[in-house]
Structure 1
């Protein structure tokens, strides 16, 4: 038998150096070792080395090398998604129990960008929780695709709400104007909790999911701008449709701006959302590593390369 890197092409052996008994060939480690040793494809000095390699390969298949925590999983990942969903459902519960003019209007509360983002985040985390429960890789992939839209949108909503783009009359992009009278929630602390639930918590939990429970995004600047532009101008067309039926805009600032101003507003929003996408991608790299490719190297025992085959 020829030898490569000090390992002989012999029969598959156990860690003690004995040939794998027939009874162990049903074990994936011994079975694969026997097949590959017979074919001369791979060489392992022991079953232990093979099993280590198999475990590492299985880990890479089920989790990206740059993904910080296991997901989908029934542990931390499921807990994060469950906590996020609890917060989202509480926000929807509040809207149902504290109706306003939007409850009876065309488009319901989906006229508000905040509620659209909240809905998309709810869908993202619901699919993520299903993936955790079933350990489905396909559902996990769907969750990650949805996250590319929902996470930057939630960051945009947080930026718009915290930037206090408001007029002296209290107009803003918040779901609820800062100076509005909120029935059953007139205390400042209650208002703060509501503001946190609608404008901060979704972006926070989406960031946790992205940075610790997801593989790195591969989206680049141009696709990010296309996605954000589609969402921004799609939302504009949607609220114009709602205005045609209801006769009022969800945010008074839209009434104050001419058509050219709205074009500029939504263009700026699309750019900010695209920038948030690229920033989140960069932040993931800062936290988990960028996974920069390395140049191929010749390794000891690489006979085929050395012989030019």
Structure 2
């Protein structure tokens, strides 16, 4: 549409603030949001990348299922995907398919990461031997760690620990409350429950399968439990994730 044509339109048919050589405001890249999402993804990716050269990574890869036995790693990849999809939404805000896919990842990753962070840091602070497996001397790190220095456990530097066990939850909370709309039914009710139940059940079956081959679970607190206790843990975590999401969504304006 030419400028002359635009000017010839009656006022009721004109789009305020949009001329013939401008994109609609909603289609313009949102640079501030893009920087936030890119930085959040970079922090998480850096934590994962730094893990590759540590003894903990060698230990993980020596087992069946490798890194993907760990709920932390699965949650981390989901959070990275959510941040990268958010970045695409920021740069191409007019492409709605990116927004729809990002919302699905957010619906899963947000409650999962909050459950991961709450369980992980509670156990790390109170009884790290229930979260971290025993390690040989080569696993020691001269950098500050979240699990102490002389406990004989596999441990990683504190900054790396926070990039994988804290940054995802913080980034997703900020994204949800400040940059996203709240979820509406049926996504916030049936959708959230089905996704939580599917994820929780799938992870429970997967980690049980891995343990049947490895002879132990990726997390020591699961190894010392009998099957009924583990089933209760999977179910409780799933319900907890769903309730956490419902609570956060309820207070979202």
TM range (shorter): 0.7 to 0.9
Checking the alignment, whether the CA contact within 8 Å between 2:188 and 2:246 is kept in structure 1 is yes
Give per-residue Cα distances to partners, 1:24-46, cap 9 Å, x unaligned: 6621x643x3xxxxxxxxxxxxx
The 1:50–1:168 alpha-carbon spacing in structure 2 relative to 1, beyond 3 Å, is closer
Q: Does 1:117 align with 2:96?
A: no
Answer 1 or 2: higher relative contact order, Cα 8 Å, separation at least 6.
2
Aligned counterparts of 2:128 and 2:136: Cα–Cα separation in 1: 10
**2:111 corresponds to:** 152
Structure 2 gaps, min length 5: 147-155
1:208 corresponds, among 166, 174, 180, to 174
**What secondary structure does 1:87 align onto?**
helix
Q: Does 1:231 align with 2:196?
A: no
2:121 corresponds, among 162, 168, 171, to 162
Aligned counterparts of 1:107 and 1:230: Cα–Cα separation in 2: 19
**2:208 corresponds to:** 240
Aligned counterparts of 2:96 and 2:134: Cα–Cα separation in 1: 42
Q: Which moved more, 1:191-200 or 1:253-262?
A: 191-200
**2:153 corresponds to:** none
Note the C-alpha offset of 1:165. 7.6
Aligned counterparts of 1:72 and 1:265: Cα–Cα separation in 2: 46
User: Whose helix proportion is higher, 1 or 2?
Assistant: 2
Note the C-alpha offset of 1:78. 0.5
Aligned counterparts of 1:180 and 1:273: Cα–Cα separation in 2: 35
1:133 corresponds, among 85, 91, 99, to 91
Structure (1 or 2) with the larger CA radius of gyration: 1
The 1:81–1:177 alpha-carbon spacing in structure 2 relative to 1, beyond 3 Å, is farther
Aligned counterparts of 2:50 and 2:232: Cα–Cα separation in 1: 33
* TM superposition score normalised by structure 2: 0.79
Note the C-alpha offset of 1:195. 2.6
How many aligned positions are there? 233
Q: Does 1:198 align with 2:156?
A: no
Give per-residue Cα distances to partners, 1:191-216, cap 9 Å, x unaligned: 43233112111001111111122222
* TM superposition score normalised by structure 1: 0.66
**1:81 corresponds to:** 37
**What secondary structure does 1:267 align onto?**
helix
Q: Does 1:278 align with 2:246?
A: yes
Note the C-alpha offset of 1:273. 0.1
The 1:168–1:147 alpha-carbon spacing in structure 2 relative to 1, beyond 3 Å, is closer
Aligned counterparts of 1:208 and 1:199: Cα–Cα separation in 2: 16
Give structure 1 regions of 4+ aligned residues with deviation exceeding 6 angstroms.
177-181
